Amino acid sequence: MTQHDLLDRIVSTARGAVASRQQSRPRAIVEREAADRTPRADAFRAALSVSQRVNVIAECKRRSPVNGVLREDYDPSHLAQSYEAGGAAAISVLTEPSFFDGALEHLTRVRASVALPVLRKDFLVDEYQIPEARAAGADAVLLIVAVLGDRLELLVRAADRFGLAALVEVHDGNELRRAVDAGARIIGVNSRDLRTMTVRPATCAHLAPRMPAGITAVAESGIRTGEDVAHLRAVGYSAFLVGERLVRSVDPGASLRELIDASGAASTKHQAPHQARSTKH
C-alpha cells in the first residue's frame, strides 16, 4: 500500500462509517442532541488569539498510521487535564477510529474533564458529522480542504450554523485560496503532506505571508522545540497544534510547559517585525 493509497483509504473508510452511523442514528436525533449543547465557537476563536501567550492546541491521539501506537496507557481525559495544567489554550481530540484509535466518546470524556475549548479532529466528509461533533461536546471541527474539495463551503456554513468554529486545514497556496473563498476565519497550515505523510517544515513559513489580514493562522505538524514555535510566531502564526511530541512524553503537561517556556526564551531571536500579510489571495 502506498502512502497515496493511505489517504484514499482513510477517506473511503470515513464515508462508509458515516453512512452506517446515519442508519443507526438518524440526523434528526443527532441534531436534537446537538441542540442540548451550548455552542462555544467564540471561545475557541478567542483562545487562539491571545497575543500575550503561546497558544498551543494540545492533541489527544493514541495512534498514528505512520508511527504506530504513541501511548500505550492512553487516557484522553487524563491527558487533557495534564495539558490544561501545562498551559494549553485548547485541546484537540482525534476521533477517527480505524487509523488513529479514536472515538467520539473520547471527545465527550475530554469535554467533561476540562474547561478549555475542544476541537474534533477527524476526516470530516459529510455534513452529518457537524451536529454529531457538537452533540459529542466539540467547540470546533477540523475541515481539510484536500479531503472536502468542493464541499468545503457547505461544511464551513454548517459549522457556523451549529455554533462550531471551523479550523480549515490547507497544505499549499491553492488550498489557502479555496479556504479563504469558502469563508474560513481560522486557517491551519499543515506541514505534513497528506499524500506522502512527510513533514515539510518550510510549508508554514512559505504560506505565512499569503495569509489575508483578519485570519487566525494556526501552524500544524512538525513542531518540536521552542525555537520552532518562536520562528512560527515571528512569521505570523498565532496558534500551534502539537501532538506526537507531547503524547509520547512521560509527563505531557510538563513537556507542554517546557515547550511554552522555551519558545518564550527563543523569541528574543525573532524580534524583527512580522512580515506583513497580504490582503490578496
Question: Any idea which residues carry the catalytic annotation?
Answer: 59, 61, 121, 169, 190, 220-221
Give the SS3 label for residue 55: strand
Phi and psi (nearest 5°) for 142? -90, 130
Q: How many CA atoms lie within 13 A of 80 on its CB side?
A: 24
CA-based nearest residue to 190, from 248, 241, 244: 241
CA distance 108 to 137: 6
CA distance 233 to 254: 21
Quickly count: other Cβ atoms within 10 Å of residue 190's Cβ: 24
* Contact yes or no for 171/146 (Cβ under 8 A): yes
Q: Which amino acid is residue 137, in one-letter code?
A: G
**Dihedral sign, Cα of residue 99, residue 147, residue 137, residue 85:** positive
* Contact yes or no for 96/123 (Cβ under 8 A): yes
Which residues make beta-bridge pairs with 122? none
CA distance 243 to 88: 12
